[in-house]
A = this chain, B = another copy of it.
Amino acid sequence: MNQLVVQKYGGTSVGSIERIKKVAARIARMRKSGLDIVVVVSAMGGETDKLLDMARQINPDPKRREVDLLLSSGERVSSALLSMALDNIGCPSVSMTGRQIGLITDSSHTRARIKEIDTERAKRVLKKKHVIVVAGFQGINEHGDVTTLGRGGSDTSAVALAVALKAERCEIYTDVDGVYTADPNVVPDARKMDRVSYDEMLEMASLGAQVLQFRCVEFCRKYHMPLIVKSSLLDESTGTLICEEDSSMEQAVVSGVMSDKNQAKITIKGVPDQPGIASKIFTGIANASLSIDMIIQNVSEEGLTDISFTLPKEDMDEAIKIVKKLGEVIKAREISADSDICKVSIVGAGMRSNSGVAAKMFEALSGENINIAMISTSEIRVSCIVDEKYAELAVRVLHDTFHVSTEQGEAELNNGAQSA
């Protein structure tokens, strides 16, 4: 039995006839080297947006069942075309839709969850030494209706198939070379990481690193599936390996610096400082399925207190509506909102064994006169809300402060190097 690898190619990687041929050549090469391969493809770049745009022109609020049928067609096209390209260069292959690969989901259209994968047919095809080309992003529910898996859905398909088929690893091919210590457009000396732990990657994914979805990394961590992110455009891309933390890994104090401008802050001022008030507010928000990120409650004065919280920008208007209604009930003095904010974060597994990291971060930001509005931390992360206009500056300063570009963060921190 050969080693099995699941590979996923994103929309850019299969965005044109030429690129589909290039992807086919890469797969055929790997197949020749003795691997069994299951490929998962996204829709050709731009197709999903084109389809969504048509849908919205026809119906501003289309039924989600029909949206799923509509969008799923994009991945079917690219899987058929890639299979043809493989056949054309003598690499036998079979395309499979979500249904054919046995991907069964619940019925939450446009954001379905995988319930099980029936791998029987896939295993039969692999035995025949055929490459399987799977239409990503889609499955079917118990009624036989097409469902889609939401944002990053093709990554989810790939990872779930890798686990179900007991693959050696899952490779995500995209238009970037791997996971970077910071956005290279913002930080010129940002460095591609060779390895990063699941925990760090989870933090980065939830902080706005676009390269991988949280859900996909979470799934890999749960099932100990090694995940590689690499470029389909560069032949020599070594990518980034996301795997278990191990002692041989160089534990940088700070592995990455991220910023996320898709944040808004709502502040409720002059709330009676009584038990049950915060609960009322956040139950109301949760009932609308809005997810809140940070919360702070100021020290109370004269029996009144201020509560602030952040959430994704697109949910701001709905949250304000809810809070205004609640504000009347709880007698809040004032409700304000601010969408010109940004969350800047540092992530690193090495923080666990290093103290003073947060303090150093605050010092670096204050050295640039960047005011910190809110703070939240986890075991391996520190995030600050700052004015949106400082987003890039803050990332550069922090990247520099923690020497993220040199893989020497840990040593230098202990030596007391201070750069900001």
Name A's B-contacting residues (CB within 8 A).
17, 20-21, 51, 54-55, 57-60, 62-63, 65-67, 69-70, 72-74, 76-77, 79-81, 83-85, 87-88, 94-95, 97, 99-100, 144-146
Contact = CB atoms under 8 A, between A and B. Distances in A.
A228 B84 CA distance: 39
Contacts of A146: 97
A70 B80 contact: yes
A57 B87 contact: no
A73 B70 contact: no
A243 to B, nearest CB: 35
Given A65-B95, A69-B95, A73-B77, 19 more contacts: A17-B54, A17-B57, A54-B81, A55-B80, A55-B84, A58-B84, A59-B87, A60-B88, A62-B87, A66-B80, A66-B83, A66-B95, A67-B80, A69-B79, A70-B81, A70-B84, A97-B146, A99-B99, A99-B144
A98 to B, nearest CB: 12
Nearest to A92: B63
Given A17-B57, A58-B17, A80 B69 contact: yes
A63 B77 contact: no
A340 B338 CA distance: 76
A100 B144 contact: yes
B51 A88 contact: no
A85 B100 contact: no
A76 B85 CA distance: 23
Nearest to A53: B17
Contacts of A87: 59, 62-63, 66
Nearest to A60: B88
B85 A58 contact: yes
A95 to B, nearest CB: 5
Nearest to A63: B87
Contacts of A85: 58-59
Contact of A63 (B20, B76, B83): B83
28 contacts: A17-B57, A20-B58, A55-B80, A55-B84, A58-B84, A58-B85, A59-B84, A59-B85, A60-B88, A62-B87, A62-B88, A63-B84, A63-B87, A65-B94, A66-B83, A66-B84, A66-B87, A66-B95, A69-B76, A69-B80, A70-B76, A72-B76, A73-B73, A73-B74, A76-B76, A99-B99, A99-B144, A100-B144
10 closest cross-chain pairs (CB), A and B:
A70-B80, A73-B73, A59-B88, A59-B84, A62-B84, A69-B80, A66-B80, A58-B85, A73-B76, A17-B57
